Amino acid sequence: MSIYTTPLQFGYFLSLLLFLVFFFRSYYREMMSDRLLAFLMLIFALELQDYTFGFSGINVLWEQLSGFPRGVALLFGPIMFFYLKAQVNLDWRFEAKDYWHFAPWAIGFTVNLLIFLLGPESVMAWQESSIYYYLGFPALLVRWLSYGYYFYHSLRLYDSYRKWIDQSFSDIESISLSWFRNFIYLMLFWISFRELMRVLDYFLDLSFYQDWWWNLALVAVSVYVGLSGMTQKEAPNLAYTTKESENSEPSFGLSEKYLAELEEVDCLLDKVMEEERLFLQSQLNLKDLAKQLRRPSALLSAAINLKKECNFNDYINSLRIKEFLSLAQEEGSGSYTLLSLAFDCGFNSKATFNRAFKKEKGLSPREFLNTIKEAPRQSL
């Protein structure tokens, strides 16, 4: 064991363990996202495998398995993208067209596997051929294009998803997937760092000890992704599609009939909120509220956007904050904590309550209440 070997072994075996955990959990929970996260962890393990084995003195990969196709770089992008799709839509499943995303990896794997099966002499001849040499740059270019394409589309999907949940849910803390956004940026850093090390290695002929650092960075990434994926809360009834996001946006150049419908929905919404106080339900979302009003979700969303001049999330939170301030100023409210009052008003986490309150009032709940208490004294 050494400073070079131990971290890689830890990351390698942890990734394999989490692969098994997520894979079996995917069948227990019947969630495609868990299965795809399992394969992400397997990819991390395979990326760490060469250096982990090398620093451990295990040479089977370069002796008995020399030439066997072990590259998984072209799998990372598609699986990352499809994992996000499965996270934001629990009903999502692979369609026939989706498997084409794995074609570049499948072609490379098949060609190298056939050469490997021909025997060691064929492998050596192939690796020493001019064709193998000249294919190096196109292969590198394809890998970079794959990273760029899937990172771009993953960030785009994440951005549209965040806009959609703001329009559709009153509490977004458990479904925000902020850790996945962090993961994407972390992976961008790691891949950039690895490619930089490979360029330096090409020009400076770095030793394995000097080239070890990008593997250590991957260990950190695998630990973060594995533990974040393990501890994230399950979000039931989540079914986001890009079409839903488009439909939630109000259209302009509105007809008089449509404006009248918006006005009618706005009045109905005010009446229901005042009489039934639905905002006190912590899991209230746009779809459920639309069913309660017996109106289309898109029409309700447009009414909130145009009449309330905010999205669904901000609208519901503003009603909860108003209720909170009413309760906090009642006699005897001092015997309750601010957080317990917030929970009574429909908030279900301290972070969500504090963030929503500061967004609307510009101060923390306690600071705002203190200013209210001090105002009468100043008037005297």
Domain with residue 331: its CATH number is 1.10.10.60
Residues 275 and 168 in one domain: no
Q: What is the pTM of this model?
A: 0.75
Instruction: Examine the fold and report which residue of 212, 231, 250 is the final residue of a domain before the chain moves on.
Output: 231
For the segment 266-275, what is each residue's pLDDT rounded down to a tens digit? 899 999 999 9
Please report whether residue 180 resides in a domain.
yes
Containing domain of residue 282, as a range?
Answer: 242-379
For the segment 306-355, what is each residue's pLDDT rounded down to a tens digit? 888 888 889 999 999 999 999 988 877 777 889 999 999 999 888 889 98
Of 40-49, 226-235, 250-259, 301-310, minimum mean pLDDT range: 250-259
Residues 32 and 169 in one domain: yes
315 close to 304: Cβ distance less than 8 angstroms: yes
Please report whether residue 188 resides in a domain.
yes
235 has pLDDT over 60: no
> What's the chain's Rg over C-alpha atoms?
27
For the segment 123-138, what is each residue's pLDDT rounded down to a tens digit? 999 989 999 889 888 9
Please report whether residue 237 resides in a domain.
no
User: Which one has a higher pLDDT value, 20 or 61?
Assistant: 20
Mean pLDDT of the chain: 86
How many domains does the structure of the chain reveal? Answer: 2
Residues 112 and 91 in one domain: yes
111 close to 52: Cβ distance less than 8 angstroms: no
pLDDT of residue 252: 41
Average confidence (pLDDT) over 166-185: 76
Instruction: Examine the fold and report which residue of 231, 261, 278 is the final residue of a domain before the chain moves on.
Output: 231
Residue where the block lists tokens 């803390």: 173
Q: Kindly report the number of other CB atoms within 10 A of residue 119's CB atom.
A: 11
Q: Look up residue 125 and give its two tokens.
A: 């001849």
Please report whether residue 25 resides in a domain.
yes
Residues 282 and 195 in one domain: no
Residues 263 and 138 in one domain: no
Residues 350 and 270 in one domain: yes
Instruction: Examine the fold and report which residue of 200, 231, 262 is the final residue of a domain before the chain moves on.
Output: 231
